[in-house]
C-alpha cells in the first residue's frame, strides 16, 4: 500500500471519521479536555497533517488549525485542503496543551514566521508536547531548541538536524521528554501513540 498516494489518504480520512463515531459510543478518550495547535501552510504533506489531527481528535482533543491567515484554504502536496481556524496573530500559545508541526515543504515556510518560532519556544520552555515529522524539524531548528535533543526526521534533513546540535536516530519515532519526532508517513502508526502518550507524563 502506497502511503503517499491520495487514494490511501482518503481511506485514512474516512477511517478517522468512523473511529470518531466509535468514540461517541462510549469508549474512553485519553485527550478529553486537551487543546492542540496544528500549524498549517501550503504544501504540507497531506498525511502528516491530517492523520495526526484526526487521531488526536479521536482521543477527545480539540484541534485548531493555525496559519498566516484565518479562514484561508491551504493545500497539501497532493491537493488536499485544510482551512485554518485562526491566524498566528489571533492565538496565544498558553491556551494550548500541545503543538503539531506537519512535514512536506510547509516547514520551510512556517520557519520564516517569528510568531511560529515563538510558539515553538513557548512549548519547549513549558515542556508541553511538540510533535514533528519529516521536514518539520526545520521549524524546531530555526527556533533553536534542538541542541542535545534526541530526534529523528526524514533522512534528507539529517545533516540539518545534527548541525543544529541534535542527536539523530534512524527510527520510526523518537521521544526525548516533550519532543516527539518521526520520519515519514509510513511511521505514523508509531508516531501518534507516542505523541498521545506524552500528554500523560
Report in angstroms the alpha-carbon separations of 99 from 21, 40, 149: 24, 11, 17
* Residues in Cβ contact with 72 at an 8 Å cutoff, skipping those fewer than 6 apart: 83, 84
Annotated catalytic residue within 75, 135, 169, 178? 135
Residue 135 is a catalytic residue: yes
The neighbour count for residue 33, using CB atoms within 10 Å, is: 9
Distance CA 88, CA 69 (A): 7
Distances (CA, A) of 55 to 39, 142, 156: 16, 27, 26
Q: Which three cell numbers stand for residue 43?
A: 504544501
User: Dihedral of the CA atoms 119, 123, 126, 128 (nearest 10)?
Assistant: 150
Query: What is the DSSP secondary-structure string of 82-146?
Result: EE-SEEGGG--GGG-SEEEE--BTHHHHHTT-HHHHHHHHHHHHTT--EEEEGGGHHHHHHHT--
Side-chain half-sphere exposure of 76, counting CA atoms within 13 A = 20
Residues designated as active site: 135
Amino acid at each position: 500500500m502506497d502511503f503517499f498516494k491520495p487514494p490511501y489518504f482518503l481511506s485514512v480520512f474516512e477511517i478517522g471519521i468512523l473511529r470518531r463515531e466509535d468514540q461517541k459510543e462510549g469508549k474512553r478518550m485519553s485527550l478529553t479536555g486537551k487543546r492542540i495547535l496544528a500549524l498549517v501552510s501550503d504544501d504540507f504533506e497531506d498525511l502528516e497533517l491530517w492523520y495526526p489531527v484526526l487521531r488526536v481528535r479521536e482521543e477527545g482533543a480539540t484541534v485548531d488549525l493555525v496559519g498566516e491567515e484565518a479562514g484561508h484554504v491551504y493545500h497539501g502536496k497532493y491537493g488536499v485542503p485544510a482551512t485554518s481556524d485562526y491566524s498566528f496573530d489571533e492565538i496565544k500559545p498558553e491556551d494550548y496543551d500541545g503543538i503539531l508541526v506537519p512535514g512536506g515543504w510547509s516547514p520551510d515556510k512556517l520557519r520564516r514566521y517569528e510568531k511560529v518560532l515563538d510558539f515553538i519556544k513557548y512549548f519547549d520552555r513549558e515542556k508541553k508536547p511538540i510533535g514533528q515529522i519529516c521536514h518539520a524539524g526545520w521549524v524546531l531548528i530555526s527556533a533553536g531548541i534542538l541542541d542535545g535533543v534526541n530526534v529523528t526526521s526524514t533522512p534528507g534533513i539529517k545533516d540539518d538536524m545534527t548541525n543544529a546540535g541534535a542527536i539523530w536516530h534512524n527510527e520510526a519515532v523518537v521521544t526525548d521528554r516533550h519532543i516527539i519526532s518521526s520520519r515519514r508517513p509510513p511511521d505514523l502508526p508509531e508516531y501518534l501513540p507516542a505523541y498521545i502518550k506524552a500528554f500523560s507524563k
